[in-house]
Structure 1
Amino acid sequence: GGFLLVGVVWAIGFRNVAPDAVTKATEGYNFYTGDLAYLTDGKTPDNDESPGIFQWGNKGLLVFELSEPVAISEVRVCVGDNPAWYIVTFFLGAKLGPDGQSQDPEGEQKGIVENFDFLTHQWVSLKPESPVVADYVQLETMNGPEMYEVEIWVEDETTPVRPSSWGLVKSRFKP
């Protein structure tokens, strides 16, 4: 047998930054039931018998303000009943207003992704063609969907994989 040295490989990982964001819902004209904390607690029907539900009466905006710009590769929403449409708008330099009204935030719009599939009981994906650098994410919904969770996936720093011989790699998988 030959000897193969597996070189250093750099892998890109992904992480969910939604739990670290300042999250707010529009107030005044739009009403909702549930708690904003449900949207980032990690509980969905797949992993919890009674996850919390956040639901708009009809339409509304959620905003996620991040502490620094990041390369966002996907926004996902775990939904239940009430099929709806979703629009995610990415901004750079926008700031959250004290009243949660952010339909026209300051800052530069960097991208927009729409989903008009009216899906229920699954994850709805809002994925730009390529990652968008933003520090403010606005999620608009219409038709009062039940929402369990919102995830904002970003590219994480590269991680080195240490070099190793093929024999050592194979030996790790012996019964």
Structure 2
Amino acid sequence: MPEKKTTDRARADKRAGKSASTQAGEYVHEEIEHIREGKHGASSAKQAIAIGLSKARRAGVKAPVKKTASKATKKKAVQDTAASHRKGAAKKTSAKRSTATKKALKREGSAAASKTALSRQGKAAARKRPASARSAAAKKAARTKGPAVRKAAAKKAARKRAAR
């Protein structure tokens, strides 16, 4: 069950007209915080992100599944979306399964939420995307920055060029 503040932040993102992935990011962030706090662990950064996305879909975020995702991932996403439409707990997870899941996650380490692990995961995901998509994302990011942030970024770029 996601925390109230996470759901509130995701709703605020939705009201602001932000994308589904931004809304889902709030849940992923919560999951990473849980791992860092030691509530449970994860075997990899990918698993931590998957748990967060699952929570987001169950909370009603319309996060689409990647076309390249595996059959199992697609099936899980459909289940999560269906769970978000259910009123009440019609298909509640059994206590046995819930306990087993918690125990399994408790056994995992917290290195999955480290800055290096998350950075590695992000870079690996970016490498799979074509250069044109990465370039478009960078251009959009530059457009959505305010003038002060843009100026600071330009100064930093100039300093880096001068250092070379």
TM interval, shorter chain, is under 0.3
The higher radius of gyration belongs to 1
Decide which structure has greater helix share.
Answer: 2
Decide which structure has greater strand share.
Answer: 1
- TM-score for both structures, normalised by structure 1: 0.25
**More relative contact order, 1 or 2 (CA 8 Å, 6+ apart):** 1
- TM-score for both structures, normalised by structure 2: 0.26
